[in-house]
Amino acid sequence: MCGIAGIASFNGRPVSADTLVSMRDLLTHRGPDDAGLYITPDSRLGFAHRRLSIIDLSAAGHQPMSNEDETVWICFNGEIFNFPDLKASLIKQGHAFRSNCDTEVIIHLYEEYGADCLKRLNGQFAFVIWDQKRQLLFGARDRLGILPLYYCWDGKEFSFASELKSVLKAAGKADLDMGALADFLVLQYVPAPKTIFRHIRKLEAGTFFILKDNKFGIDRYWKPEPAYESSMSESQAMEQLDHLISSSVKRQLISDVPIGVFLSGGVDSSAITSYMSGIMDMPVKAFSVGFEEKEYSELEFAKMAASFIPNVEHHQLVLKADSAMSLVQELFETLDEPFADQAILPTYLMTKYAAENVTVCLSGEGSDEIFGGYDRYLSTIKKVQTIGDLTRFTPDMKPFISDSIRLHYDDYLANLQSFSPKEYSALFPYQLKPKDDFATNQFRDFYNSMDASDDLQRVQRFDISTYLADNLLFKVDRASMLSSLEVRVPLLDYEVVNFCLGLPFHFRYRSHIQKYILKKLMRGRIPNEVIYRKKMGFSVPVFLWFQGAFKNYLNDTLLSKKARERGIIRPAFVETLLDPKRMTIDKHNSLKLWCLLVLEEWFKRYYD
């Protein structure tokens, strides 16, 4: 992975090399191995790049990179896993190559197919291309949103980067988006295309932009499309799933640097570890993190999986409350947008730990979305089963019964939110209350319009388009890049995603078992105790820390003089959350306090 940045001027003012270098070097953690800069002869455009060398470690992989006559330039972050096949095909079509890196393949693929090149890429990526002949900028983000791309376009200047702080360097101080702030307090993240700043945006997953003749447009090139052969038996579906996951893992093991895996002790990471063990001809380096608070730690199951799966070299680390404080401060320094998923703490510790031994890790992200594994899906599953029971003998009544029983958006949101709409309204002084343009309301229309075979598929597809890209993958990207570690997610290969979304309900849930087909597929490959244990997720003992090691820090930060004077969050409401009795009995209260702590630390660094 790498860090990319750039500026294109449409107002006659030349781009500043100093600004580009500043934008680039804010991303040094994303690419410590090399730094590049390119400015066009007319100084209208500049690209800047930081490189984390993974494939073709030679100077031939230096970026920004151009084609032979320097009429096409690219600034690229990511990996294209099918680049060897694409390269062979392009050579047959007459293209010549100077390197063995995937970056050059994208350039020639763009020359051959234009924007349609995206449909041929299998990988995780964000890039921007300058086409000198056509005088246009073309940029894109991968199908699932594994890698980020931020941008700002004011009609005169366009700037982009891998992280918001670099765009902010070019755009200058931006206005706070109160609607985005409200979204954060409900969802714990700011959903795309918004950012916390009004004029800076995220490019959404599966989309591309073209900027030409001062006209900026965005189009979608991919969305989840369930693909499944309805005549498949269970054994045939398992065989196809096995082939797709195995192929994805094999593709994503391509690397010229050491590679490992995150092993949490759940079925997803254990499955990836098992596939790696069967493919690699050397020990699989597996990394796990747990907590000294045993009820929050999964290390027992990670050890069990590592012992069961052949050829695994297991490394494990325990996070203690007294050392968590420094970890939190490191994260707050780099999180340039409020983000309150507490799992970023152990994720960051694990990436730091893994980076001491490897440069690339595979991870099991995405499994719950594509197989329907979240506990919060259980209410949806019950509704789907009820509809099936009621319409078994009256199929003509299914549309009416489905509409009356289906999971509605507000029910879905209630399972995710930290603050309720009533609470976040009480958080803001009257004059600062956001208008009714939250993503939570925009999401309602998106959710209701989504085509799906059943409500479980609906929430899966919705989560893939929102929560997965803007929460889970953001978390992994920021934590891993802060450690200069590349993370790959084989279960989010788009062919795997499409196949799994198309699976019939009874392959996703059967006999009270979620992710039924994956768990059956993994029998004998990982321990049954891992396959059928209760799901934990990457839970963090913040509830306990706020009563102990973090107590004074929490109170001092949230009720500081600066926080009171800023006037954005009402101190009286914060004081009710800090009530000692409430702190000891209400675990959900700790989530609200964590959101406010994240926000206050962000205000201090990026707003005040």
Cβ 317 vs Cβ 262: under 8 Å: no
Rounded Cα gap, residues 113 and 578, in angstroms: 58
**Residue 55 has what pLDDT?**
85
Question: In sequence order, what are the residues at sequence separation of 6 or more whose Cβ sits closer than 8 angstroms to the Cβ of residue 99?
Answer: 56, 58, 60, 61
Cβ 158 vs Cβ 214: under 8 Å: no
Cβ 277 vs Cβ 310: under 8 Å: yes
Q: In the structure encoding, which two tokens stand for residue 212, read together? A: 């030409």
Please provide the size of the chain in residues: 608
User: Hey, how many other C-beta atoms are within 10 angstroms of the C-beta on 584?
Assistant: 13
Cβ 37 vs Cβ 46: under 8 Å: yes
Q: What is the DSSP letter of 196?
A: S
Which residue bears the tokens 């490191």? 330
Rounded Cα gap, residues 570 and 333, in angstroms: 24
Rounded Cα gap, residues 141 and 112, in angstroms: 19
Rounded Cα gap, residues 583 and 581, in angstroms: 5
Which SS3 state, helix, strand or coil, does residue 7 take? strand
Which SS3 state, helix, strand or coil, does residue 193 take? coil
Q: Which of 16, 25, 14 lies closest to 163, judged by CA?
A: 25
Rounded Cα gap, residues 182 and 425, in angstroms: 9
Which SS3 state, helix, strand or coil, does residue 122 take? coil
The amino acid at residue 175 is: D
Q: In the structure encoding, which two tokens stand for residue 442, read together? A: 């925009």
Q: In the structure encoding, which two tokens stand for residue 434, read together? A: 């956001």
Locate the DSSP E strands across 132-231: 136-141, 150-153, 157-161, 201-202, 207-212, 215-220
The amino acid at residue 452 is: A
Locate the DSSP E strands across 407-500: 486-488
Angle at 539 between CA 535 and CA 540, to 5 degrees: 165
Q: In the structure encoding, which two tokens stand for residue 86, read together? A: 């694409």
State how beta strands 259-262 and 360-362 pair.
parallel
In the chain, which residues have pLDDT < 50? 389, 400-401, 404-405
Judging by beta carbons within 10 Å of its beta carbon (0-12, 13-18, 19+), is residue 282 exposed, middle or buried? exposed
Phi, psi of 285 (to 5 degrees): -80, 110
Rounded Cα gap, residues 560 and 562, in angstroms: 5
State how beta strands 136-141 and 157-161 pair.
unpaired
Helices of type H across 522-558:
528-531, 542-545, 551-558
Which residue bears the tokens 């102990």? 548
Q: Which of 36, 43, 108, 122 lies closest to 78, judged by CA?
A: 122
Q: In the structure encoding, which two tokens stand for residue 515, read together? A: 């992710």
**Residue 401 has what pLDDT?**
46
Residue 106 CA: distances (Å) to CA of 117, 147, 172: 8, 16, 32
Q: pLDDT for 355-396, tens place per residue?
A: 999 999 999 999 999 999 988 888 788 776 665 545 555 655
Question: In sequence order, what are the residues at sequence separation of 6 or more whose Cβ sits closer than 8 angstroms to the Cβ of residue 41?
Answer: none
- Taken in order of first residue, the domains within the chain and their CATH numbers are 2-220 (3.60.20.10), 234-372+468-531 (3.40.50.620), 375-419+430-463 (no CATH), 542-606 (no CATH)
**Residue 165 has what pLDDT?**
96
Partners of 586 in the β-ladder: none
Q: pLDDT for 324-342, tens place per residue?
A: 888 999 999 989 999 999 9
* Whole-prediction pTM: 0.94
Cβ 413 vs Cβ 421: under 8 Å: no
Cβ 265 vs Cβ 530: under 8 Å: yes
Q: In the structure encoding, which two tokens stand for residue 238, read together? A: 């398992």
Q: Which of 131, 84, 79, 136 lies closest to 110, judged by CA?
A: 131
Phi, psi of 353 (to 5 degrees): -65, -45
Q: In the structure encoding, which two tokens stand for residue 298, read together? A: 């999964």
Angle at 111 between CA 110 and CA 112, to 5 degrees: 90
Q: What is the DSSP letter of 542?
A: H
